């Protein structure tokens, strides 16, 4: 009897071990430990390796109607020719007279800056987390800094500083989205992502790294900046038009830098969290580094509509909004 019992135990142990191995093999690409320490499984058909994949468009008709995975995000020599509708719309944004020839300007770009297709690595084995950090005063006192720095990509907008605000906004930056009038010096590891709303913006970028002779657009701009030219990127005018049509739905003159950055993140990231967006309950907001109060629905951008769209993205489980403090 003892011998039979031992044989039975050995058989059960072997069976359990085999079952465990099979389960591990089955789930080796599906088991996921999230940043909060919880466990989950990624579907065999999941478009990424995160617990929740932003690009899984099948669960939201509202999102699917707006999201175009084939839109060109960044300029390169292959995709630089603009169709007539995009070219006409983009040129209507030009507020500076005597704009240069777009084709001639683009021809000067890519001998100087990287000429390639960026972020084409989407796949079921990738989990890229991204923090889009706005400049709202609701970041003050939030202590979001360590959480923001935990992301793979950390995108900052215009001149939002980190020095002196690290506890609330973090210290790392992988991408800074700017236009000439908001440009600032960057460290060697940060991507300068230019938002061009006029041909002169692209001319300024070239000049800032070469002749340094452009010092004025509609206002004074720096003649040069410190940045890694091998990490320079330029948002595609067709992408700007796409965000205006599909996401801003034609509100305002063109989308705000923050809104464009968020939609850009939706296209290159698997998980998107946003910080420093939104206004107070009175519709008033201020930059965390300034004390000037202003309405967020004035000027050329449709701040109120953009804010509604951002909230809808959270309702559709595409992003998570960290609202900080009022």
254 is in an annotated binding site: yes
Tell me how far apart the alpha carbons of residues 228 and 241 are, in angstroms, rounded to a whole number.
Answer: 27
286 is in an annotated binding site: no
158 is in an annotated binding site: yes
Name the DSSP class of 274.
E
Tell me how far apart the alpha carbons of residues 6 and 4 are, in angstroms, rounded to a whole number.
Answer: 5
Tell me how far apart the alpha carbons of residues 221 and 76 are, in angstroms, rounded to a whole number.
Answer: 25
Q: Any residues with CB less than 8 A from the CB of 203 and at least 6 apart, and which?
A: 100, 105, 214
179 is in an annotated binding site: no
**C-alpha distance across the termini of the chain, in Å:** 74
The residues carrying an active-site annotation are: 254, 301
Strand, coil or helix: 21: helix
258 is in an annotated binding site: yes
Strand, coil or helix: 200: helix
301 is in an annotated binding site: yes
Edge-to-edge strands of the sheet including 319-322? Answer: 232-234, 191-194, 175-178, 153-157, 129-133, 271-275, 319-322
278 is in an annotated binding site: yes
Tell me how far apart the alpha carbons of residues 308 and 62 are, in angstroms, rounded to a whole number.
Answer: 13
Tell me how far apart the alpha carbons of residues 42 and 48 are, in angstroms, rounded to a whole number.
Answer: 8
Known binding-site residues for substrate equal 94, 135, 158, 218, 254, 258, 278, 287, 301
């Amino acid at each position: 009897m003892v011998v039979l019992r031992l044989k039975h135990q050995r058989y059960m142990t072997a069976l359990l071990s085999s079952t465990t191995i099979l389960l591990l093999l089955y789930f080796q690409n599906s088991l996921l430990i999230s940043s909060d320490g919880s466990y989950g499984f990624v579907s065999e058909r999941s478009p990424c390796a995160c617990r929740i994949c932003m690009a899984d468009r099948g669960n939201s008709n509202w999102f699917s109607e707006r999201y175009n995975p084939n839109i060109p995000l960044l300029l390169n020599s292959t995709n630089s020719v603009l169709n007539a509708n995009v070219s006409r719309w983009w040129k209507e944004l030009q507020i500076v007279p005597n704009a240069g020839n777009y084709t001639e300007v683009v021809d000067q770009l890519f001998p100087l800056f990287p000429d390639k297709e960026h972020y084409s690595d989407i796949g079921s084995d990738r989990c890229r987390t991204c923090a889009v950090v706005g400049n709202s005063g609701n970041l003050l006192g939030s202590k979001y800094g360590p959480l923001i720095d935990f992301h793979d990509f950390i995108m900052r907008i215009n001149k939002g500083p980190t020095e002196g605000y690290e506890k609330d906004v973090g210290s790392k930056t992988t991408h800074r989205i700017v236009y000439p009038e908001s440009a600032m010096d960057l460290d060697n590891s940060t991507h300068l992502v230019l938002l061009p709303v006029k041909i002169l913006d692209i001319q300024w970028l070239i000049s800032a790294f070469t002749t340094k002779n452009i010092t004025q657009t509609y206002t004074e701009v720096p003649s040069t900046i410190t940045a890694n030219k091998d990490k320079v990127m330029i948002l595609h005018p067709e992408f700007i038009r796409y965000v205006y049509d599909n996401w801003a739905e034609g509100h305002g003159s063109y989308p705000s830098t923050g809104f464009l950055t968020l939609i850009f993140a939706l296209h290159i990231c698997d998980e998107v969290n946003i910080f420093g967006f939104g206004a107070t309950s009175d519709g008033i907001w201020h930059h965390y580094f300034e004390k000037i109060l202003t309405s967020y629905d004035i000027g050329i951008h449709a701040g109120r509509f953009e804010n509604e769209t951002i909230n809808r993205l959270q309702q559709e489980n595409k992003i998570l909004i960290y609202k900080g403090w009022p």
